[in-house]
Chain A
């Protein structure tokens, strides 16, 4: 999360017109979503990757590492997508018999799966293009400008702010535990992790209470004005 944020501020496209970036993003992601041709998806993916790595100068390694997380999700969902279970051995690309039923891969589901993968990659690359080249505060301004409901923007902004507070708390607790050998063996690690979660919840409640005090002192009236 922090990596994305840092690069959003130092990339070479940061000062490029935000509206144009947003327009480009919208067009590309619409094409990626509505086109059914894997080649178009791959083309979008390549164009976006080239822009992000060569023009915006985001290090290639960082950029591709960012795909690891979505890849994990895509692979998991693909398992359910590609394999199907059948009672009789229908014609398919591949089948394997397990006791009384067959696990099979059908040609049409394979084609669909490929299209799904390429579509996922092209849309992810579009999103990465936007968040890696546009700082969050500029994004909020864009959303306001294009009349996205304020409630949604409020929620996005608060989530964004509090993710960092949460991460900071976690890393503080983790560091304190780690320095006292809390993670040196498997057993200790589980113990420490449980403690970490407990401490985290207690601290979050405390912070929440403190924040209410500070909101009150500024006459908060249940709306975060943007």
Chain B
């Protein structure tokens, strides 16, 4: 649905930000983009939503090159949404409801439909309790949920999450992962960037590794995270499940649950 062909992007000062990027978001429904600081993850996201125009190469959406005029960008952003790392930067209203409805109103929906859609989202994300509070009274985690609600309300087919877990407490992180899993269950795609390798390893079904603006490796997580070379080059670390696989001679588990099940069966046997 959305992919890039030989995408190149340079910063204003001529520094290379993205170089020959070929990414196909059809490879999975939970795609991970990992890489050290300054690897180009956010730039890539901004190119994929059509905000940054590549210097060379194309972004292809539904088999067509995207055009950078208002109308086609509008069509693209109907289907592709993005949740930024800092919630404060994407909340404009002092009132939660109006902020969630913002994107829908921009698309010109009827107020009645908007109300129905926003109410569903408010229920889904459990933010009813602070619906009437002004935004600056909310905590970081709560603001983040409001920001996500504003994107979910648009009902996009693909949603980008830039560092979704940054700054969240453990239980809020679980909450966030749950929300993303629910989005995928509804038949949508999530694309996440993160520095939390445990999260990427367990959550994603396909991973791209970026380093200095280039894709240096791609594949399913169990393949990527066994490749020490790639990880070192990209300033990344092994997830703990990979570590116990390598150091304690255990099989490679996809998640914690599998490990416990394995232990249980082994003790029985």
Contacts and interface: CB of A to CB of B under 8 A. Distances in A.
Nearest to A8: B134
Given A137-B134, A217-B82, A160 B105 contact: no
A225 to B, nearest CB: 4
Contact of B106 (A140, A221, A226): A221
Contacts of A137: 94-95, 132, 134
Interface in B74-120: 74, 77-78, 81-82, 84, 86, 88-95, 98, 101-103, 105-107
B150 interface: yes
Given A158-B92, A214-B84, A219 B106 contact: yes
Contact of A164 (B77, B98, B106, B136): B136
B134 A5 contact: yes
A160 B151 CA distance: 23
A94 interface: no
A176 B77 CA distance: 39
B51 A217 contact: yes
B1 interface: no
Contact of A219 (B91, B93, B103, B134): B103
B84 A210 contact: yes
Given A135-B134, A137-B132, A217-B49, A210 B94 contact: no
B135 interface: yes
Nearest to A218: B103
Interface residues of B, number: 35
A153 B84 CA distance: 27
B95 A225 contact: no
Contacts of A135: 132, 134
Given A164-B136, A219-B77, A214 B103 contact: no
B51 A219 contact: no
User: For this complex, into which size category does the number of interface residues on chain A fall?
Assistant: 20 to 34
B86 A210 contact: yes
B61 to A, nearest CB: 15
B46 A213 contact: yes
A22 B233 CA distance: 64
B89 A218 contact: no
A156 to B, nearest CB: 10
A136 B106 contact: no
A117 interface: no
Contacts of A140: 94-95
Tell me the interface secondary structure of chain A in the complex.
Answer: helix
A165 interface: yes
Interface string A205-226: 0010011011111111100111
B94 A161 contact: yes
Contacts of B92: 158, 161, 211, 215, 224
Nearest to A162: B92
B241 interface: no
A16 to B, nearest CB: 16
Contacts of B49: 217
A173 interface: no
Contacts of A218: 77, 102-103, 106, 150-151, 154
A9 B94 CA distance: 14
Contacts of A224: 92-93, 102
Most chain B C-beta atoms within 10 Å of own C-beta, residue among A158, A217, A221: A217
A164 B93 CA distance: 12
A220 B106 contact: yes
A207 B89 contact: yes
Contacts of A160: 94
Contacts of B91: 161
Contacts of A5: 134, 136-137
Nearest to B90: A214
A87 B95 CA distance: 59
29 contacts: A5-B136, A135-B132, A135-B134, A137-B94, A137-B95, A137-B134, A140-B94, A157-B93, A158-B92, A161-B93, A161-B135, A168-B88, A168-B136, A210-B84, A210-B86, A210-B89, A211-B89, A213-B46, A213-B51, A214-B82, A214-B84, A214-B89, A214-B90, A217-B49, A218-B106, A218-B150, A218-B151, A219-B74, A225-B106
Given A157-B93, A214-B89, A218-B106, 16 more contacts: A137-B94, A137-B132, A161-B91, A161-B94, A164-B136, A210-B84, A210-B86, A213-B84, A216-B77, A217-B49, A218-B103, A218-B150, A218-B151, A219-B78, A219-B106, A224-B102
